[in-house]
A and B are shown apart, each in its own frame.
Chain A
Amino acid sequence: MGFNSYLAKKVVVYTITFIVAATLNWGIPRLMPGDPIGVLLSRFSTLPQSTEVMYSYFMQAFGLDKPLHEQYINFWRALLSGDLGVSIYLYPRKVEDILLDALPYDLVLIVPAVIVSWIIGNWLGALASVSRRLDALLMPVFYFLTSSPYFWMAIVLAWLLTVVFPIFPPSGAYSPGLEPSLSLAFIEDFLMHWTLPFLSLVLVMLGGWAIGMRNLIIYEIESNYSRYMEALGAPRGLILRYAFRNAMLPQITGLALQIGLAVAGAITTEIVFSYPGLGYLMLQAIQNQDYFLMQGAFLVIVIMVLVSNFIVDIVYALVDPRIRYTYTGET
């Protein structure tokens, strides 16, 4: 009973959140100054006579000649039938196809970055928590990393490793002229292009994990069970192992949340490196006033954040009855 009503409430909350978020996605691009069809046609140098006929045709084709409330209703109607519309910038490709092309780039970049930063961060945090000298050395570094904006870190790395030491290529997912394949040459080229955005994500994320881990372990070491073990004469290594395991729990939750948020975090990094994931696509969409592509890309991010939050909520409730009780008001 408790769990079901908890679930029901959560579903309602998430649905409302989704509707609000999707509405904002729809509305905000339309507040931008400018006219997407005009921009689209301005790429083509032709007689004004031609522009005139094309303009009215494409305003209709994209449904932009209708009053806003009708456009809004049409948006939901299409969305519920799984149709994200046609891109203006990459006319006439479907938005969902474009997004599906871009997503793999996000996944190969973001998932490893989150996991690697999580592992290294937790490890370094744990190291810092046990050695005071190391702590004094590392903590400022962690704070520095975690407070640097993604784009800033990306620019610094780009400057350092493509200009000062020209080791890595500055932009793209692979060299122009190369065709994606499973050949060694391509994989190597791909890795070279992947390294810098990957590193810049890892470095920024790492700081937060390390700080969290260090604080949690210190907290655990100070807790009663640790003191009791200490009193019993347990070796320090054993106490630390217990503390570490207990500290891991919140970090695992954090990991689940982070994967959802990471797409949003990677946007600026992708832009700096022209890495063709969702973030880069969004920039192109905004620059070309592509309402439909913008909507689609934002929607993917919203859905990822909501879904990962939802999963965490459910898992929590399953694992920890206290949560669902407080939520449903039962005692």
Chain B
Amino acid sequence: MTTRTPARVTAFLLAVLVIASLAPIPATAQQLPREETIYVGGGLWAPPSNFNPLTPWAAATGVVGLIYEPLFLYNPVKDEFIPWLAEEGEWIDNKTYEVRIREARWQDGEPLTAEDVKFTFEYARMHEGIYYSSIWDWLDRIEIVDDRTVRFIFSQPHYPEWQYYLYTIYIIPKHIWENIDKPLEEANENPIGSGMYRLKSYDQSQVVYEYNNAWWGTKVYGEPGPRYIVYLRVSSNNVALAMLVRGDLDWSNFFLPGVPQLVRQYDFIHTWYKDKPFHLPANVAFLFINNQKYPLNITEFRKAIAYAINVDEIINRVFEGTVLKSNSVGFLPIPSWQKYYAEDLDKQMGFTYDPEKAKQILDQLGFKDIDGDGYREAPNGERIKLTIIVPFGWTDWMESIRIIAENLKAVGLNVEPKFPDYSKYFDDLTKGYFDMAINNFNSFVSPTPWTMYNWIFYNNTPPIGENSWNGNFGRYFNSEVQQIMEKILVTPVDDEETLKQLYRKLQEIFLRDLPYIPLWYNGFWFQASTLHWTGWPSEENPYGVPVTWPGNWQLGGVLVLLNLKPTAASGGEVVTKEIVKTVTVTEEGKVVTKEQTITTTITQAGSEASQGEGAGLGMIAVLLVIIAAIVAVVVARRR
């Protein structure tokens, strides 16, 4: 036995070595031709399981936009409605909107007619859970004029709301959906739309779309660049960063760390602006304040908070200058909102960072530090302790509220940042169990500031403990505001003179009462790689917003696809890739000093590099050799 064992071990080791030498089998991860395929990420966080355009909140990104199409696209950079499934649309009188649709076919070959458009809207009257069903409170009926013309006749048009729906309702085929009983419980795994792309395949980590060569728009707009879109579900922003610099991701809508450095280091990384802030503004991040809770219900107290917060510090320290500071009324710098922005009011009544002024206001209100603990007490001597919440894991916001808490401590307010889980955060927010919270969910770019006001001033201020419908979390109520909001709703969107007055009044009330504090504009995070695709939009060529988040493709994502061209020198690709790889090393070195998490993931993902994959089995073999060696030692010892 003792003589046999070493022989056995040797034999085993030999076998292992043989396996190891066989190991480098090249892995071909990409089966689709690279020059026809674009790799996109940033809008797919859960395994794709839903392709239903009527539940766009659960549908995989691209289902609405690529497969199912709205009547119009909307480009907020130019404040421009782009006729899409509609060829044209206009108000023919105060209460009638007429749409002429294009000559199009569904992906199953059936013609797309006025009937389908009518059906799409009427479907929401039959099924109340469809997100646009409340339209029937003010839409009276829909008439078909001819095969391609539909008229919407309103009992009382809600002009800005209708304008919003024009690019966020997706037309569905009547001949398919009329036979479905419970449309909202449908996963719709074989989606049939009218769009530029059809669903090719999907699994846990990706959705693959393929160009629909019978698309109506080919005649109007030409063919899109990429034949295939692989939409990847990437586990974290850091992994996405590594994939982008390696050329494995062409189009990123992730919130990437270290964008300024990234852009400086890699000349093939394309951004909207060449320099800070790099990103287009997407929405306004507000500090929501609970207007029902003492002492936050004191207007002057809220103003003191506004004066105490150093937004520039947040932007520089947390966002590295990649977002812009908001004005005092939270008006996004897009033409459709700017035309109603009352700059003079902002100058006169707005706030800037001024901690001395904040202290002064608090002193005047009688909030003073009586017991000498460094924090102010209420005039009646009671201690004040406030919290700010953001969801755990949203690292940029977590850092931001740490800074805000420091700022407020500096003026003598005892404020603690807290990071509950997302579900708890959202519950506290909607039920009103919070002091202060950051949120930006529905302050997105749009054709009118009405969408933002409709959210922050939403006319639903239930008692604390009941749901406030996704807006006006702090329960600010002002009947004058509600009256103005109602007027805006029924004022035609081209009556700019009237609207100017109304929006001016809203801004004045907002600045007077300051229910919430606008902080900064979150960006449309966008980095693209020109290694494989060119033609990306930018500041100089703003043909659309390059965003692929669910339900946002119609802001320009689909136009980007039409503008993309394969990068010409495909022969030079290999060379470029080599350069990428060598640079990656220095990148790692640089990022190390900045933030440790970034480095680790880059290294990890780097090990997955396509060329390195073949070495996989080899590595397993090495491990086996080590194990075998240990075994050999143990066996030897046993003698």
Contacts and interface: CB of A to CB of B under 8 A. Distances in A.
Interface of A: 32-36, 38-55, 57-58, 61, 86-87, 89-93, 124, 127, 131, 133-134, 162-163, 166-180, 184-185, 188-189, 191-192, 195, 274, 276, 284, 287-289
Given A35-B427, A38-B467, 6 more contacts: A46-B131, A47-B164, A90-B49, A93-B187, A171-B235, A176-B233
Contacts of A55: 467, 469
Interface string B441-457: 11010000001001100
5 contacts: A35-B426, A35-B467, A91-B55, A127-B634, A131-B638
B604 A170 contact: yes
Nearest to B393: A287
A166 B638 contact: no
A175 B427 contact: no
A189 B27 contact: yes
A56 to B, nearest CB: 8
A166 to B, nearest CB: 4
B638 A176 contact: no
B201 interface: yes
Given A49-B161, A54-B131, A61-B129, A34 B427 contact: yes
A287 B427 contact: no
Interface stretch (B109-117, B356-364, B416-424): B416-424
Contacts of B58: 40, 43, 91-92
Contacts of B25: 184-185, 188
A189 B234 contact: no
Contacts of B216: none
A173 B28 CA distance: 17
Contacts of A274: 235
A51 B451 CA distance: 14
A163 B602 CA distance: 9
B333 interface: no
A317 B442 CA distance: 64
A35 B230 contact: no
Interface in B465-502: 467, 469-471
Interface in B272-302: none
Contacts of B205: 172, 174, 176-177
Interface of B: 25-31, 39, 46-47, 49-50, 52, 55-58, 128-134, 161, 164, 168, 184-187, 201, 203-206, 230, 232-235, 248, 421-424, 426-427, 430, 441-442, 444, 451, 454-455, 458, 460, 467, 469-471, 550-551, 600-601, 603-608, 613, 616-617, 619-620, 623, 634, 637-638
B424 A177 contact: no
A52 to B, nearest CB: 5
Nearest to A36: B423
A51 B469 contact: yes
Contacts of B444: 45
Contacts of B161: 47, 49
A58 B46 contact: no
B63 to A, nearest CB: 13
A44 B427 contact: no
Contact of A166 (B28, B458, B470, B604): B604
A311 B113 CA distance: 63
Nearest to A195: B620
Contacts of A288: 423
Contacts of B184: 57, 61, 92
Of A34, A47, A86, A172, chain B has the most CB atoms within 10 Å of the CB of A47
Contacts of B134: 49-50, 52-53
B169 to A, nearest CB: 10
A2 B46 CA distance: 53
B189 to A, nearest CB: 10
Contact of A188 (B27, B204, B460, B605): B27
B613 A48 contact: no
Contact of B423 (A34, A57, A87, A171): A34
A48 B460 contact: yes
A166 B607 contact: yes
A36 B550 CA distance: 20
B427 A33 contact: yes
Contacts of A90: 46-47, 49-50
A188 B617 contact: yes
B424 A33 contact: yes
B232 A177 contact: yes
A239 B185 CA distance: 67
B185 A180 contact: no
B470 A39 contact: no
B616 A178 contact: no
B631 to A, nearest CB: 10
A53 B131 CA distance: 7
A185 B620 contact: no
Contacts of B52: 92
Nearest to B30: A177
A46 B56 CA distance: 10
Please list the 6 inter-chain residue pairs (A to B) with the smallest Cβ-Cβ separation, ordered nearest first: A57-B129, A44-B57, A34-B423, A166-B607, A50-B131, A185-B27
Contacts of B133: 53
Contacts of A89: 46
Given A33-B424, A53-B129, A91 B206 contact: no
Of A91, A172, A284, chain B has the most CB atoms within 10 Å of the CB of A91
Contacts of A93: 49-50, 187
B50 A92 contact: yes
A163 B423 contact: no
B607 A167 contact: yes
Contacts of A169: 604, 607-608
A151 B532 CA distance: 40
A163 B422 CA distance: 29
Contacts of B607: 162, 166-169
Contacts of B56: 44
Contact of B185 (A92, A131, A162): A92
Of B27, B133, B186, chain A has the most CB atoms within 10 Å of the CB of B27
B609 to A, nearest CB: 10
Nearest to B282: A45
A289 B426 CA distance: 12
Contacts of B421: 34, 287
A162 B455 CA distance: 45
Contacts of B638: 127, 131, 134
Nearest to B243: A176
A193 to B, nearest CB: 10
A192 B470 contact: no
A43 B184 CA distance: 17
B622 to A, nearest CB: 8
Contacts of A39: 422-423, 426-427
Contacts of A131: 637-638
Contact of A51 (B130, B470, B601, B613): B470
Contacts of A124: 634
A42 B470 contact: yes
Contacts of B430: 35, 38
B613 A179 contact: no
A38 B441 CA distance: 13
B57 A43 contact: yes
B393 to A, nearest CB: 9
B248 A177 contact: yes
Nearest to B431: A35
Contact of A48 (B28, B442, B616): B442
A178 B470 CA distance: 38
Given A57-B129, A134-B638, A184-B25, A45 B50 contact: no
A288 B604 CA distance: 28
